[in-house]
Amino acid sequence: MSTIEEQRAQKRFVGGCLVAVGGLIATVCGLCTAVFVIGPIWYAVTSPGGVYAWPLSLMGLVIGGIPTALGVALIVVGLGMFRGARRPPPDA
């Protein structure tokens, strides 16, 4: 049976891994989503007849926004595990 200190260490390790993986997912998917959302909007604003670019930016937001949101959710859950595994303050 593992001790409480080992369980805390395991929770901190898993929480740190979730933060790292979630950060990678959110960064990569977020940057790609930003390119596919801002690019068509820029084209629609600067080009005459670029009205048809708006659906492409919405499609990029829907398709790229879901993995980005999942990456952010992994970060939040990982931070909760990481912070929840701290040592309690000593009793006075």
The reported pLDDT for the residue numbered 67 is: 95
pTM for this entry: 0.80
Q: What is the pLDDT along the chain (92 residues), one digit of tens a residue?
A: 568 888 888 999 999 999 999 999 999 999 999 998 998 888 888 888 777 888 888 888 899 999 999 999 999 999 999 888 776 667 65
Task: Output the six-digit token pair for 50.
Answer: 């670029």
Helices 54-84 and 4-46 cross at an angle (nearest 10°) of 160
What's the CA gap between 26 and 48, in Å, rounded?
34
